[in-house]
Amino acid sequence: MEFKKKFKIFRSAGWTNPRKQILLKSLLFNKLTLDSLPNTMTRMICIKPKALSVIFLLVVAGCATTAPDTLKKSQTPSAATPTIAVVVTSETPSALITPSTPAESETSVDQTTASVSKKDSADIWNRLRSGFAMKALDSPQVEREIQWFVNNPEYMQRMMERARLYLYYITDEVEKRGMPMEIALLPAIESAYKPHAYSRARAVGLWQFMPATGRLYGLHANWWYDGRRDVEASTKAALDYLEKLYNDFDGDWHLALAAYNAGEGKVGRMIEYNRRKGKSTDYQYLKLKRETLNYVPKLMAMASIVADPDKYGVKLANIPNAPYFTRVETGYQVDLGVVAKLVDLPIDDLHNINPGYTRWATDPKGPHYLLVPIDKKDALVAGLSNLPENERIQWLHHSVKRGETISEISRRYGLNIEAVRTANNLRSNLLRTGQDLMIPYSARSMTPPVVHAAYREPSARIAASGEPIIHRVRNGETITSIARRYNVLVRQVLNWNLIEADDVLRLGQKLKIWVRGGPTA
């Protein structure tokens, strides 16, 4: 069969992409032997099934018309005879078809086998290593950052314990997009895998999204829910953003990461500035703030440690290459405390994988789903199917007293006015004495969980000896949330600090908390 006729068949199968046509030519001219065909197929990730079947038939036909002696020779190439290695990757702008020695071909085959078996790795670290693909960063700062991590083993251990909850999911999402696996380690630099992380610049969550950027990438936020904290939603949005930056900066991951930290406009202006001055436009030569200049070296340092922990004397936490959580559709608003009881799970553990919900209940308008440890899925599905409607949300009754306002009542229970009005179908803020109000107790603020005993702050250890903890009021905290955090009564906190229930707490205000004993309240 003539080459033109063969090529016409492939065009009819949809093979018009120039990258694929290069591969076709090598196949059609019989540059690939039957022995190399299976290896080639494993690399043709984006080949359509229809076209793949046509290729197979034509290559077999080509080989069948080859003289027996020629075929025999082609199946046993000598060491001096080069073979053709076809390498197609998601980051390569065009397929590279280059001569290579048999030894080089074996290396290429090994890499393919490794990529195919990534999900079969015993632990998550092996899977990450097999996907590291970023070019090395020529900067002495990388070594300095490595030393900092090595010299702070407790920090590393705490961070890896937190990563245990999220790393498999993030790794899976990164792999699906064909991105370098170093990206899965980026939350280590952004938030140390803290789902409740909040920066001075108002960036929040594992990926530290700013409000405006979050909205741009579909992460909506309201009183009940913040998509920037949602593990699944924020991960997908962050990878969308990083892919966009990678394309904007012509396939340079270092520049894309710098833009993720400092903003694409800032990095673009510095590139143009260096270009006008005749300077290098590589990341490490740009005039950027110190935080951004250290940002990429930190990621590359973390990747270096994961790549060879023995070299640096670091022991990585044992994190299995298996999902920790799964999604369960609830179909309606539900109290997280109720869910925690249904699946016999501490509320803090449930909130750690559902940090997007800022209240003790899911958003009444959705999303109507929860993430739960994978071994708790069946229990939750069964529990929700048998849960009466009146038990999905926890309520309190409040009888309006003379002189009380809706603002005071909302503040007393740690709610906003709109939550109280919605729960009671109120058209205005006017109340009458004796009026019964339904208080959605599930709508109270969800504060970050108490630090576990192994990592308890020094102040908590002092409390065991009878001394008070000095608590500084943080943004969004209420008397109720502070009392719940330390497992004490609201009236105790009020009496210990000589304040009233309707007093407004000031940011930074110091409160004394006795977790054991303390003054009689």
> Is pLDDT at 329 greater than 50 in this prediction?
yes
The pLDDT value recorded for residue 376 is: 96
Cis status of the peptide bond prior to 367, with omega within 30 of 0: yes
pLDDT tens digit string along 258-289? 999 999 999 999 999 999 999 999 999 999 99
Residue 44: pLDDT band (50, 70, 90) is very low
User: Any bridge partners for residue 359, and if so which?
Assistant: 445
- Residue range 295-314: mean pLDDT, rounded: 97
**Range with lowest mean pLDDT among 94-103, 113-122, 261-270, 491-500:** 94-103
User: Any bridge partners for residue 469, and if so which?
Assistant: 513
> Is pLDDT at 106 greater than 50 in this prediction?
no
Most confident of the following: 111-120, 373-382, 394-403: 373-382
- The answer to whether 328 and 150 have CB atoms below 8 angstroms apart is no
- d(Cα 328, Cα 376) in Å, to the nearest integer? 10
pTM assigned to the model: 0.62
449 in helix, strand or coil? coil
Domain ranges of the chain: 3-116, 124-312, 328-386, 395-443, 455-513
Q: Annotated catalytic residue: which of 175, 182, 190, 232?
A: 190
Residue 516: pLDDT band (50, 70, 90) is low
Cβ–Cβ contacts within 10 Å for residue 484, how many? 19
- d(Cα 49, Cα 325) in Å, to the nearest integer? 34
> Is pLDDT at 57 greater than 90 in this prediction?
no
The pLDDT value recorded for residue 451 is: 31
Cβ–Cβ contacts within 10 Å for residue 224, how many? 21
The phi and psi torsions of 232 (rounded to 5 degrees) equal -70, -50
Alpha-carbon Rg of the chain, whole angstroms?
Answer: 30
The pLDDT value recorded for residue 187 is: 97
- Output the CATH code of domain 455-513: 3.10.350.10
The pLDDT value recorded for residue 455 is: 28
What's the whole-number average pLDDT of the chain? 77
> Is pLDDT at 472 greater than 80 in this prediction?
yes
**Range with lowest mean pLDDT among 73-77, 180-184, 481-485:** 73-77
The pLDDT value recorded for residue 517 is: 52
> Is pLDDT at 3 greater than 70 in this prediction?
no
Better-predicted residue by pLDDT, 251 or 58: 251
Query: How many residues can be counted in the chain?
Result: 521
- Residue range 166-179: mean pLDDT, rounded: 98
The pLDDT value recorded for residue 284 is: 92
Residue 313: pLDDT band (50, 70, 90) is very high
Which residue, 338, 377, 373, 341, is CA-closest to 354? 373
In this structure, which CATH number among 1.10.530.10, 3.40.470.10, 3.40.1110.10, 3.60.10.10 belongs to the domain 124-312?
1.10.530.10
- What residue has token string 């308890």? 456
pLDDT tens digit string along 413-445? 888 888 788 778 888 889 999 998 878 766 555
The phi and psi torsions of 458 (rounded to 5 degrees) equal -55, -35
- d(Cα 521, Cα 157) in Å, to the nearest integer? 40
Better-predicted residue by pLDDT, 247 or 367: 247
> Is pLDDT at 156 greater than 90 in this prediction?
yes
> Is pLDDT at 163 greater than 60 in this prediction?
yes
- d(Cα 444, Cα 213) in Å, to the nearest integer? 27
Q: Do domains 395-443 and 455-513 have the same CATH topology?
A: yes
The pLDDT value recorded for residue 84 is: 32
Question: Looking only at Cα atoms, what is the longest distance across the chain?
Answer: 105
- Residue range 216-235: mean pLDDT, rounded: 94
- d(Cα 311, Cα 307) in Å, to the nearest integer? 9
The pLDDT value recorded for residue 253 is: 98
**Range with lowest mean pLDDT among 45-59, 341-355, 494-508:** 45-59
**Range with lowest mean pLDDT among 60-69, 299-308, 344-353:** 60-69
Helix (H) or strand (E) holding 396: strand 395-399
The pLDDT value recorded for residue 420 is: 85
Class of domain 395-443: alpha beta
Known catalytic membership, residue 467: no
